[in-house]
Structure 1
Amino acid sequence: MIRKYNKTLLTAALLVALSIAGCGSDGKDGQDGAPGAPGTPGTPGTPGTPAGSVVDSVVSANAADFKITLAPEDIVVVGSEPFSIKFTATAKNTKGEYVPFTGLERIALYVINQVENDSGTGAPMLWSSNSIANEFGSSMYCNLTGETTDRQGNVVNACTLVEDTENLGTYSGSWTHEGNAPVVSADGDPNSLFRVMVRTYDVTDASGEGISDKLLSTPLDFIPATGELAVSAKDSVSNAACIQCHSELTGYAEGDMRIANIGAHHNYQKVENCVTCHNPAYAADQTDPDKGFNPNWNAMIHTIHAGGVLAEDGLLQGDAKEFAGVHFPAELSECTTCHDNGTQWNDNIYAEACLSCHMNVDLTTGENHRGIIPSGDAACAGCHGAGSLSPILAHNVGDRATAAEGLTFDFTSATVTPTADPAKSTLTVVANVTLNGAAIADGTDLTPYMTSTRRGLLIGNLEADGTPLRGLGMAIGDLASLSGGVMTFAKDFDASRLVGPIYVTAEIQVCAESGLVVKCTTNDDGDVEQIGVANNAPIKYFNLSDPNAETVIARMDDPDRITVSEAQCNTCHGNLTHVKGTHGATDFTQCMDCHNNRYPGSYHGGVVYDTGEVDTEGKPVFAEVPGITFSNRDLVTVAHRFHSGSWDGGGIYFNKDMETVGYPAIATDCQACHKEGAVMFAADGGLTSGKRSIQVSATEFISPVAESCRSCHISGSALSHFKSNGAVVQGDAMTDADLPIESCATCHAEGKAYGIDKAHSGVAH
């Protein structure tokens, strides 16, 4: 504002000068004026503002370089007193220092408060939007004129925004129109919790480009009557819970956690931001065939995250169909994946929250509710307030973790004996086995406990560098004896395979209920009724040729050679068992039996994209991306491919513009999966893991770094780049497994100008 004011003065002075120059028609100079009064000796002039002490743009495109600060004593939004607000705006200068930000011209103000709900329907405490209650809209604008145009193009009243010319970067807002401002709750309770949030507009970076992400204040929760800061008991989902999958916006102060990658409205960054609009004022009937969902936050967020499942069951309609592509990566029944901030989700039972997932239940008829028609929400607690039908028990929350040790294998030996056929030998593996904490009883048949009998013991050879070679596995049917809690398995194999170091683990998924492994039962549709829990089988190593030889461990069992961890995966997935369905995997040493660089071929060799068209049933039409195929199961490339969308369909895929759809995190946020501080490149330029090739056929191999990158970078130009830097790529595979190391690390190793730590930093603004 000061900048514009000074320009106005300059223009006025110029006009005056021109008008004076135009006086007099004879073209002669006028007489000199009287001398001016001399200045006061020794009195300095008013100093100018030092360069960099204030800014009027954000030094970079990083939204975290700009911040709004609010204080309770500077806000009046309840009662009969006139509305007022004061706040400060700061931004980083070129030195990286936060200094006052001058020149703000437009903001939006969101104000909500908590009110008790005595209607008998819904949560015991509700959010109430002050401006919506005053029939004004979800927010109130403030600008320099006190009048603005809303989203519908209507001219509406706004509060008047003024910058303090004596204290740049400090702004105040007031209401100059009739009555009080619409964000004031005249009849509100000043002893209740109020939440105030500011959104700013038209802020640019140093190049004049508008900041792409929203510039929002941290929502201020306070009690107006006392000015005390407060914490809302309604926020049962923390921002940290969302960040587990959606990545975190970087650059903000410690404790100011903001969500990076929520697409709606281009990211309102915090749960506290979202509820300023998505509150009961916007509640709607989800049975409305046009709307199809309830936009109140507690209901809407359930429907969104259950979207893929609800779509498969044909339950989405109207606008809610846009949620069909959302496939929740964790287990929907594990409520604490998101609800990590208190037990309100279990203690407060009301239909609105439940029906947003259980969309096929009709409480007016009792359909899919055992015919029960409750008289109201208060009646729900009669069945669901405690006991087996309470949310925490009905959804088996925590059961998987409790039953994780339910079936445990402790492998103690692996030996080889010859057979009558000189080409064959018998491999015998022995394990101590416990079931629900006790030694497994003699005569126990495990198959009734198993969700699938496809899997059993995972056994394979190990190369000197820890590379696994699968092929010695056994099924439960290969059980030779069970006595005193000891299970002995035996099977004949090609004698040439039964030499040297081997690994032994197991991959068996069993049914669990109430924290115990139980025999599986099925419902009328033939689906297993219990949750599936993977066995616990720590990997063991044996040398079939020399029991005293130095142990060779699998590369995926060496923390120094693996840059990811199951714990990192589980921040989003919760556990790996449900991700793999009936396979029962819990850790990478089980995954490696199939997903290694010596097992060629792929069940998902092609790549498809969403054409943007739909079929007669309204389902999206996918087409194959020509010329792109993959021929390996290596865990690195498979994990990259699936999460980037280079797949043959599923929850994550490419749209028609070849952009990734369905991945919840920032695509370049490698830390979402990789361990913090992990170094991808070894000193010789190869991978830290020691992997130097990937097998793509019985006799052919390709370069591992390039294939990892190609999982995401599938363009023809990227392929040419890989080849020009020494990579052996699919289509030009070599028959030697000991391939030369690509020169990728020259530019892309950590610390280099184009290092993956910079290009894939995951920085989100």
Structure 2
Amino acid sequence: MKQFRKPHLALLVAAAMAVAGCADDGKDGAPGEPGEPGPPGPGTPPPTVDVTETTHVKVLNFAVEEGQVVYEIEVTDQEGTLVEGLEAAEGKFAAWTERGYVLSRSGEGTLGGYGSMSTEGATLEMGEPGQYTFTLPMENVTAGQEGMLWLRVGDREGPIMRSMPLVVDKPEGTYSTSDATCNACHVDYAAGSRRHASYTAMDIEGEGDLVGGCLVCHNSVSRADENGGYATNTLSKIAHVNHPEKGFERDFTVLNCTTCHETTPLNTSIAGPGCVDCHNPGAPVGPMSPNTDPSFDIRAIHAQKVALPEIEQIRESHYTTTSAPYWDADVTWDSGTGAVCTDLKLFKVEGETETQLNIGDMYAAGELTYAGAYIHGYDGQGITGRAIARGSDQYVARADGTRSICFPQLLAVEGSDGTDFTAGNFMASTRVTVPQTGWVNDDGKDGVSFTTYSVVVSTDYFDVDPAVTAPTFTEVSDFDRRQVVAADSCVTCHNSETNYHKNGSYQNGGWDCVACHNNGQNRNSGGSAPGFGPMVHSMHWGVGSGIGTDDANSATKLNAENCVACHADGIDLYAIPNQYQLARAYHEGTRGMMASPVTANCFACHDSESALNHMVQNGGEIDAVADPLWYTTKSAESCATCHAEGKTFGIEKYHVFER
């Protein structure tokens, strides 16, 4: 007698069959028109189809028996209509062992099993319309054996199209990774172009099961091992070795285990599955040593090795403040006296106590690797460039430990014709970097960085003679910048604090980067467009991609259209400030050019001549000659008219903004 295990998904039964009463004979039509027919009467067979566009499977029952597995299923098409004529089905069973999951191909010591309708003895029988029993012989399977059971029906060529794979059953608590951690980068593996995208699985409740779908073939044990699994690459090797070695994003450390492991790994033996990948590469996978102590978290050991707890402690126990620019008449230079300064303060928090630290003393002792500042022009929500000469700063140590960063003069921002013009307003940014142990030195400036922006001020500086009257600075507003990426979007991949360069941190969606990569910095970063947004788009997905768009772990291969990886709350094209960005011309590389904002971002990826022509025809520009007051000039681009979310050609129809 077969002993079936019921899945969580309930079998729906029509209750109307048990209800006595008058039948529904339909509805009257309008005068001169036929009415609507009522539902089929008792005993009338339900409608069926024998051709599908997509095929859906509901598992009614399943059983792991001696030498075979049995699935009872219901098959419907994209409209929910029952399917007749199904002739193709395949199944897999990866056995749960002391070495983890194993699905052997063949040979002595074979574990688990797999097969299809071409397997000798396999049967696929339909009982009620759309309901089938699929019996698949697996000689190495024993009754009630634990493992991962997998199913797929239909044919790649039709007429009944192949369904998504189903993970029908698996033991609980058998791995510590999750779909959520994988999809932080991959977002929707099935919709991408990566290898085996069509094998992305779901569970019987209709939820995604990416990890299970991969693990059923990429087992815990390599095919190369004795009594090994189905694939040569185990899933853990793909994560631990192949991801970093094949071009993973910069500033990623595989020792930051929580990136992938939501819970502590099950195995604690360095010879067992997962651990052997790094501790003894190429060695056969041995038995696991299960972690039986709930308080023991092996992730913490790896985190300690690369100073992650230290980094977290530094971030939690320090903060900085930045003053508005002000005039200090007592600062002396070879050429005279007086300077425009901003004050950088560093605080340490211990419980309820906050203590201001002495930046000068810490820098001298090597307890800080950087403590500096810039003064910027500012207009609207955009930084319009630096208002100081690079390298002209002087550090003034104050008695309370404050470091004042001072500049001999406040420069006007350079215009398109090489002349200076007065920026609308000004503000300051400061950055301090605290060193930490265990990290690869990156141009002498690695560490935990804190960037802070001051309030915005206006000044009569350009209209006064400081030798006669001290310049004044008047507060205008808080510094504000439109933030459309999630705070943790960058650190999902850039999970270390080695810093890309110049002490920039990946915290808060790349907030630190804006001090240099902004609307007014006339630069071309790695072939990318101007500004922070265009640079990020191009460096990850476009022509400026530093690791190449064809590399396995480039953002392109992680599905370039999956904007939700960074833009968790979508994009409102209407909300983008209509403010130009300074740019070096794309084709000539000359200065004194500007680009309209939406076009600058879109062209970073959509860089064909036809795409650019479309943007230009609708008011976009990438190589426009910059006006003297370029940041107050409004572009004529009308991208939002057609491409804002909800429009006929809204960007959400071509890019993914929902998980």
> TM-score, normalised on structure 1?
0.64
Matching residue of 2:467 = none
Q: Does 1:550 align with 2:471?
A: no
Q: Does 1:174 align with 2:62?
A: no
Distance 1:586 1:698 in 2: 31
Are the structure 2 counterparts of residues 273 and 529 from structure 1 closer, same or farther at C-alpha, using a change threshold of 3 Å? farther
| 2:216 is the counterpart of 1:303 | no
1:298 and 1:537 map into 2 onto residues whose CA distance is 37
User: What is the aligned partner in structure 1 of residue 8 from structure 2?
Assistant: none
Q: What SS does structure 1 have at the residue aligned with 2:435?
A: strand
Q: Pick from 333, 337, 340 the counterpart of residue 255 of structure 2.
A: 333
Specify whether residues 395 and 421 from structure 1 end up closer, same or farther in structure 2 by C-alpha distance, changes over 3 A only. closer
Is 2:346–2:359's contact at 8 Å kept on the other side of the alignment?
A: no
Using the alignment, how far apart are the partners of 2:444 and 2:93 within structure 1? 45
Partner of 2:597: 704
User: What secondary structure does 1:719 align onto?
Assistant: helix
1:337 to partner: Cα distance? 0.3
Q: Find the counterpart in structure 2 of residue 689 from structure 1.
A: 577
1:636 aligned onto 2:533: yes
Selected match of 2:622 from 729, 734, 738: 729
Q: Is the 8 A contact 2:325 2:473 kept in 1?
A: no
Partner of 1:77: 64
Any conservation in 1 of the 2:490–2:566 contact (CA below 8 Å)? yes
User: Cα distance 1:530–1:84, how it changes in 2: closer, same or farther (>3 A)?
Assistant: farther
Q: Look up the match of 2:516.
A: 594
Q: 1:483 to 1:476 in 2, by over 3 A?
A: farther
Q: CA deviation at 1:690?
A: 3.4
1:344 matched residue in structure 2: 265
Deviations 1:691-748 (A, max 9, x none): 3444335432232222222111111211222222232333x54546324321323322
1:100 and 1:575, CA in 2 relative to 1: closer, same or farther beyond 3 A?
farther
Offset of 1:529 from its aligned partner?
13
The answer to whether the 8 Å contact 1:508/1:583 transfers is: no
Hey, what's the Cα distance between the residues in 1 that align with 2:86 and 2:502? 53
Q: Which residue of 1 aligns with 2:452?
A: 538
Describe the SS at the equivalent of 2:233: coil
Partner of 1:265: 196
- 1:476-487 equivalences under 5 Å are 478-487=394-403
Partner of 1:432: 345
Which one-letter code corresponds to 2:271 in the other structure?
A: Y
* Alignment-derived partner of residue 651 in structure 2: 756
Tell me the CA shift for residue 638 of structure 1: 0.8
Counterpart amino acid of 1:217? L
- Counterpart code for 1:541: V
CA distance in 1, matches of 2:655, 2:426: 37
Name the counterpart of 2:73: 87
Partners in 1 of 2:446 and 2:525 — Cα distance?
A: 24
Change (3 A) 1:108 1:398: farther
Whether contact under 8 Å (1:423, 1:494) holds in the other structure is: no
For the residue of structure 2 that corresponds to 1:404, the secondary structure is helix
Displacement of 1:597? 1.9
C-alpha displacement of 1:338? 0.2
Write the mapping of 1:360-759 to structure 2, written as runs, cut at 5 A: 390-405=301-316, 407-418=318-329, 425-435=338-348, 437=350, 438-441=355-358, 444-446=361-363, 449=366, 453=370, 456-472=372-388, 478-494=394-410, 496=412, 501-513=425-437, 527=441, 532-543=446-457, 545=459, 548-551=474-477, 553-554=479-480, 556=481, 561-574=482-495, 578-580=499-501, 582-584=503-505, 586-587=507-508, 588-605=510-527, 632-647=529-544, 650-653=546-549, 662-682=555-575, 688-696=576-584, 698-730=591-623, 733=625, 735=627, 737=630, 738-759=633-654
Is the contact between residue 407 and residue 434 of structure 1 (CA under 8 Å) also seen in structure 2?
Answer: yes
Instruction: Evaluate the alpha carbon distance shift between residue 486 and residue 456 of structure 1 in structure 2; reply closer, same or farther with a 3 A threshold.
Output: closer
Q: Cα offset for 1:662?
A: 4.9
The equivalent of 1:37 in structure 2 is none
Matches within 5 A, 1:110-189: 110-115=92-97, 117=98, 126-129=100-103, 139-143=113-117, 148=118, 156-157=119-120, 159-164=122-127, 167-174=128-135, 181-182=137-138, 185-186=141-142
The residue identity in structure 2 corresponding to 1:751 is G
Distance 1:485 1:742 in 2: 49
In 2, Cα distance between equivalents of 1:347 and 1:326: 26
Shift of 1:676: 1.4
| Counterpart residue type for residue 133 of structure 2 | S
Three-state SS of the structure 2 residue aligned to 1:726 is coil
Q: For structure 2, which runs of at least 5 residues remain unmatched after alignment?
A: 1-39, 201-209, 414-421, 460-471, 585-589
Do 2:95 and 2:103's aligned partners in 1 also have CA atoms closer than 8 Å? yes
The structure-2 alpha-carbon separation of the partners of 1:495 and 1:77, relative to structure 1 and needing over 3 Å to count, comes to: closer
**Aligned partner of 2:197: which letter?**
H
CA shift at 1:579, angstroms?
Answer: 4.7
> The residue matched to 1:218 in structure 2 has which SS?
strand
- State the partner residue of 2:468: none
Deviation of 1:335 (Å):
0.6
Alignment pair present for 1:101 and 2:63: no
Change (3 A) 1:66 1:576: farther
**Aligned-partner Cα distance in 1 for 2:299–2:111:** 43
Name the CA shift for 1:107/1:487 in 2 (closer, same or farther; >3 Å): same
Contact 2:522–2:530 (Cα < 8 Å) also in 1: yes
Counterparts in 2 of 1:245 and 1:133: CA distance versus 1, 3 Å: farther
- CA distance in 1 between counterparts of 2:177 and 2:78 reads 31
RMSD in angstroms over aligned alpha carbons?
Answer: 4.4
Q: 1:183 to 1:640 in 2, by over 3 A?
A: farther
**Per-residue displacement from partner, 1:146-202 (whole Å, max 9, x unpaired)?**
xx2xxxxxxx525111122xx222111235xxxxx216523x6x3x63321102241
Task: Show CA shifts across 1:75-94 (max 9, x none).
Answer: 332447x643212223331x
Change (3 A) 1:578 1:168: farther
Closer, same or farther: CA 528–537 of 1 in aligned 2, 3 Å: closer
**Which position in structure 2 is the counterpart of 1:25?**
none
Report % sequence identity.
19
Distance in 2 of aligned mates of 1:470 and 1:531: 22
Alpha-carbon separation, structure 1, partners of 2:193 and 2:309: 27
For residues 207-356 of structure 1, what are the structure 2 equivalents within 5 Å?
215-221=164-170, 231-248=171-188, 260-261=191-192, 263-269=194-200, 270-280=210-220, 282-284=222-224, 295-307=233-245, 324-327=246-249, 330-340=252-262, 342-344=263-265, 347-350=268-271, 353-356=274-277
Say whether the 8 Å CA contact 1:501–1:542 is kept in structure 2. Answer: yes
Whether the 8 Å CA contact 1:408–1:535 is kept in 2: the answer is no
Task: Deviation per CA, 1:594-622: give whole Å up to 9, x if none.
Answer: 211221231422xxxxxxxxxxxxxxxxx
Q: Is the 8 A contact 1:305 1:327 kept in 2?
A: no
Determine helix, strand or coil for the equivalent of 2:377. Answer: strand
Name the structure 1 match of 2:56: 67
Q: Call closer, same or farther: CA 1:549–1:436 in 2, change over 3 Å.
A: closer
Structure 2 Cα separation of the partners of residues 762 and 57 of structure 1 = 32
Letter matched to residue 410 of structure 1: T
**Structure 1, unaligned runs of 5 or more:** 1-43, 60-64, 118-122, 149-155, 176-180, 222-230, 250-258, 287-292, 308-323, 365-374, 514-520, 606-629, 683-687
Q: CA deviation at 1:138?
A: 7.4
How far, CA to CA, are the matches of 1:358 and 1:531 in structure 2? 30
The separation in 2 between residues aligned to 1:645 and 1:499, in whole angstroms, is 32
Distance 1:216-1:707 versus aligned 2 partners, 3 A rule: same
Other structure's SS at 2:507 match: coil
